[in-house]
């Protein structure tokens, strides 16, 4: 039976009946009591029908393949759904559906009751008519960054007379999950970052051109590619004309998040959530202004010692990937040394135009950033104090903006 693991369970009444049948049958044969023999035959038929009914009903219970993922911010509502299809032609009279809402972060509350959903087990009566599709809903409210999933789905189906039951444990691929994005905590200073551009903007001098933005034409010169010839303009001018495209620059930000704590008693910093919320705002700001960005986090990942990396991208889809990445981080994650992460940051073939540092900042970061600033890189770190949030030039301790 695809997607389910089953275990058959029997009641005491069933066991008594099964063990009584041989005695009842032998007594009927030796005494020539047709009534006793009829009872024995009836009980055999009853047990056979009950077994057939359970096998038939349970073999026709399915859950569609795929995943359902709901994405919300704190304070928003989402409905987790559990779809169950029953293709049998006889009804299921009695059963019980139960599942476990895995929410170790306390990311959501049950919307109807406003109570914690952590380690919550939900149960529903399972009684369905033939050829039925049913959806079980669980509405939750986002409280804080994190994820919650429906797990440990179990279904118990009883026979008609409740002599026995089949316990079904779901082992298929369907998953229902809600992702609560980090709270967006804004701060001033991103708009004042000293760089040549924000996004893909026309510029007078650039190595890049936007072939979708034609600025004009000029006389053809030897070496111009033929795909740049404007044939209509050439026909009017009676000589070859080459298209002139707008010069653009493509802005790129590297978001570096150091979450490693200096204390041996814990893995991550005590302002872990604040750093991720500030990084989330930066991702949102970059996407809004068409700025490509990447993310580095010094969280240990399989196969690498440099930490977690989201490559460059831009637009709404890339923003959603970034927010989901930040939502899935845990304060209990194992970290890697910040020097390993910074080594990966500055070993990339792409030259970063702007680096923004979040989280812990110390002598190692100051030393490394001072060296990189000498190569012309623009580097800032976001400093959180009791007075507010500062966007500060890294590698020089020079404030670039006021507290927010």
- 137 forms beta bridges with 81
Q: Poorest-confidence range of 140-154, 201-215, 219-233, 239-253?
A: 201-215
Distance separating alpha carbons of residues 210 and 219, to the nearest angstrom? 20
Distance CA 52, CA 66 (A): 30
Given this model, what pLDDT does residue 351 score? Answer: 63
User: Please, how many CA atoms are within 13 Å of residue 345, restricted to the half-sphere of its CB?
Assistant: 30
Say whether both 142 and 223 belong to one domain.
Answer: no
pLDDT digits (tens, 9 = 90+) for 90-130: 999 999 999 998 998 889 998 776 666 566 788 899 999 99
What's the confidence (pLDDT) of residue 350?
Answer: 67
pLDDT > 70: percent of the chain? 88
**176 burial level (CB within 10 Å; 0-12, 13-18, 19+):** buried
Sign of the torsion formed by the C-alpha atoms of 320, 323, 328 and 329: positive
Is residue 200 included in any domain, yes or no? no
pLDDT at 199: 44
318-353, pLDDT tens digit by residue?
999 999 999 999 998 999 999 999 999 988 776 656
Let me know whether 393 and 284 are in one domain: yes
| Nearest by Cα to 179 from 326, 301, 285 | 326
In a domain, 171, yes or no: yes
Question: What's the number of domains the chain is made of?
Answer: 4
Enumerate residues 6+ apart whose C-beta is below 8 A from 7. 166, 167, 169
171 lies in the same domain as 235: no
Task: Examine residue 6 and state whether it is found in any structural domain, yes or no.
Answer: no
> Token digits for 126?
């399972």
260 and 394 belong to one structural domain: yes
Q: Given this model, what pLDDT does residue 117 score?
A: 58
Domain, as residue range, for 111: 61-180
What average pLDDT score do residues 190-199 get? 57
Among candidate residues 292, 293, 259, the one with its CA nearest the CA of residue 274: 259
Both 265 and 362 in one domain: the answer is yes
Does the pLDDT at position 206 exceed 70? no
In a domain, 2, yes or no: no
Say yes or no: 79 and 19 in one domain: no
Q: At residue 390, what are phi and psi to the nearest 5 degrees?
A: -120, 135
For residue 185, tell me if it sits in a domain: no
* Residue-level pLDDT at 116: 60
Whole-number pLDDT of residue 400: 42
Q: Are residues 51 and 67 in the same domain?
A: no
Torsion angle (degrees, nearest 10) of CA 11, 13, 17, 23: 120
Residue 79 burial class via C-beta count within 10 angstroms: exposed 0-12, middle 13-18, buried 19 and up: middle
Q: What is the pLDDT of residue 2?
A: 65
Decide if 237 is inside a domain: yes
| Tens digits of residue pLDDT in 60-80 | 999 987 889 999 999 999 999
Predicted TM-score of the model (pTM):
0.77
Query: Once rounded to an integer, what is the mean pLDDT over residues 187-203?
Result: 59
Claim to verify: residue 48 and residue 143 sit in the same structural domain: no
Q: What is the mean pLDDT of residues 205-209?
A: 44
Phi, psi (5° rounding) for residue 287? -65, -40
Q: Are 404 and 388 in contact (CB under 8 A)?
A: yes
Confidence of residue 247 (pLDDT cuts 50, 70, 90): low
Q: Could you tell me if 390 and 258 lie in one domain?
A: yes
Token representation of residue 69: 């993922």
Which residue, of 158, 180, 202, is where some domain finishes? Answer: 180
What span, in angstroms and rounded, lies between the C-alpha atoms of 13 and 158?
14
Contact 72/180 with Cβ under 8 angstroms? yes
Alpha-carbon span 349 to 354, nearest angstrom: 15
Of 180, 204, 232, the domain-final residue = 180
Residues 21-40 have pLDDT tens digits of 887 788 777 787 777 778 88
User: Would you say residue 149 lies in a domain?
Assistant: yes
Query: Do residues 124 and 54 both lie within one domain?
Result: no
Scanning 128-258, the segments in alpha helix (DSSP H) are 231-237
Residue 114's pLDDT is: 62
Q: Are residues 49 and 80 in the same domain?
A: no
Could you tell me if 286 and 388 lie in one domain? yes
Buried b (16+ CB within 10 A) or exposed e, 126-158: bebeeeeeeebebebbbbebbbbbbeebbbbbb
């Amino acid at each position: 039976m695809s997607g389910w693991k089953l275990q058959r369970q029997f009641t005491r009444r069933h066991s008594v009946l099964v063990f009584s049948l041989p005695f009842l049958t032998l007594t009927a044969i030796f005494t020539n009591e047709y009534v006793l023999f009829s009872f024995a035959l009836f009980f055999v038929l009853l047990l056979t029908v009950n077994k057939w009914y359970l096998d038939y009903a349970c073999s026709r219970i399915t859950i569609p393949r795929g995943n359902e993922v709901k994405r919300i911010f704190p304070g928003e509502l989402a409905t987790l759904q559990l779809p169950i299809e029953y293709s049998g032609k006889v009804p299921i009279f009695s059963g019980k559906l139960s599942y476990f809402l895995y929410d170790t972060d306390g990311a959501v509350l049950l919307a109807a009751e406003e109570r914690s959903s952590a380690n919550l087990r939900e149960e529903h009566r399972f009684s369905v008519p033939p050829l039925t599709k049913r959806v079980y809903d669980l509405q939750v409210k986002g409280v804080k960054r994190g994820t919650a999933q429906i797990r440990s789905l179990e279904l118990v189906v009883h026979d008609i007379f409740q002599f026995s039951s089949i316990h079904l444990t779901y082992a298929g691929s369907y998953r229902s999950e809600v992702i609560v994005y980090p709270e967006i905590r804004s701060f001033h200073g991103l708009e004042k970052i000293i760089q040549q551009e924000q996004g893909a903007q026309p510029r007078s001098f650039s190595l890049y051109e936007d072939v979708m933005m034609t600025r004009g034409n000029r006389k053809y010169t030897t070496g111009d590619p033929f795909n740049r010839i404007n044939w209509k303009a050439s026909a009017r001018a009676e000589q070859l004309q080459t298209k002139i495209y707008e010069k653009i620059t493509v802005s790129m930000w590297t978001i570096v998040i150091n979450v490693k704590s200096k204390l041996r008693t814990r893995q991550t910093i005590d302002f872990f959530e604040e750093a991720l919320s500030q990084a989330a705002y930066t991702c949102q700001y970059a996407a809004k202004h068409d700025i490509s960005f990447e993310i580095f986090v010094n969280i240990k990942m399989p196969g690498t010692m440099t930490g977690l990396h989201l490559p460059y991208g831009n637009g709404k889809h890339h923003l959603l990937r970034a927010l989901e990445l930040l939502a899935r981080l845990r304060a209990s994650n194992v970290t890697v040394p910040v020097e390993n992460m910074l080594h990966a940051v500055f070993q990339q073939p792409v030259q970063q135009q702007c680096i923004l540092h979040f989280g812990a900042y110390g002598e190692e970061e100051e030393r490394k950033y001072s060296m990189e600033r000498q190569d012309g890189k623009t580097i800032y770190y976001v400093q959180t104090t009791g007075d507010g949030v500062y966007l500060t030039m890294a590698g020089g301790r020079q404030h670039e903006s006021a507290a927010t």
